Amino acid sequence: MISRYAMMIGKTPVSNLGVFAYGFNGSVGLSMSNRVSSTGSIGSDISGVGTARYGLAACEYGGDKGIFGFGRTSSNINFSNLVSNTGVISADSSTSGTARQYLASCSYGGNKGVFGFGFTTVRVSLTNLVSNTGTVASDVVSSGTAKSQLAACEYGGDKGIFAYGLPTGTSFSNLVSNTGIVSSNTTITGTSRYDIAACRYGGDKGIFGYGRTSTNICNRVSNTGSIGSDISGVGTARYGLAACEYGGDKGIFAYGFNGSGLSMSNRVSNTGIVSSDTTGVGSARWYLSACSYGS
């Protein structure tokens, strides 16, 4: 039988499972994960998955695996943790990129990924490509405006998009080609905000959702990378959440903060419809990250 990955060469493979990991509970960074089933159910806490931290990013690589990278402990860090195709998160591995927090990440080119932007002591415009074996490359200066607390997702089968974030009023995107080239700024529609999340859905589209200050707005991304106007009223308003794909063509937003940490999720259908809240999905936290895995 030909694998789903083999049939998707040249396009980002569809992943069946997901994982949320790390985060902040108001006192300390956390070292835990919660796996997402092929039907969008989030499992109980799994503890001890690498150094506790928050403000990190994650994406898919290698067709059926994932990677969490960067973030903050008591200071900014530059190491990663690989996710196997069975959802096991590995021990810490140092990377060559600049230590930073509040960056974003997405996959591109079918089996690679890219970490982008973030905050050191200032906002930066840096990217780090991830190979199909999970190796994080050294810094590349991007042509996009320096920013942090943004989000990123895939679109078009083999491309990606970074959008929103700080500084306040940032309302533009930076497209990622299928060779990992990040474009200059493109002005977009939709309310400017930060501490948002994004994921792919429908195989070739994406969605950005929620954000500070505690909004419940979503914006869909077409298969050509165009971001649509605001869609409001989709679950509890919050920020500092994360999102990933599951079930091959669906997505899920989970966790976040709206005055206190939240333990809830909102599923995204394969047509981009965001569902009402599902509560009680693992320990409440925010400033975590998520990616998909499996095939």
Q: Does position 75 have pLDDT exceeding 60, yes or no?
A: yes
| Residue 97 or 189, more confident | 97
Task: Find the CATH number of the domain harbouring 20.
Answer: 2.120.10.80
Q: Where are the beta strands (DSSP E) in 4-47?
A: 17-21, 32-36, 46-47
Q: Which residues of 244-253 are buried (b: 16+ CB within 10 A; e: fewer)?
A: bbbbbbbbbb
The distance of Cα 132 from the centroid of its chain, to the nearest Å, equals 18
The number of domains in the chain is 1
- Predicted TM-score (pTM) of the model is 0.95
Read off the pLDDT of residues 8-64 as tens digits, 9 standing for 90 and up.
444 666 789 999 999 999 999 999 999 999 999 999 999 988 999 999 999 999 999
pLDDT, average across residues 79-83: 97
Instruction: For residue range 84-106, list pLDDT tens digits in order.
Output: 999 999 999 999 899 999 999 99
Write out the residue range of the structural domain in which residue 23 sits. 4-293
Sign of torsion, CA 238 87 249 105? Answer: positive
Q: What is the token pair recorded at 178?
A: 């299928």
The pLDDT value given to residue 6: 38
Residue 277 CA, chain-centre distance (Å), reads 20
Report whether pLDDT(2) > 70.
no
Measuring CA to CA, which residue among 32, 78, 42, 43 is closest to residue 57? 78
Supply the mean pLDDT for the chain.
94
Residues 268, 283: Cα–Cα separation, whole Å: 21
Q: For the chain, how many helices (H) and strands (E)?
A: 1, 23
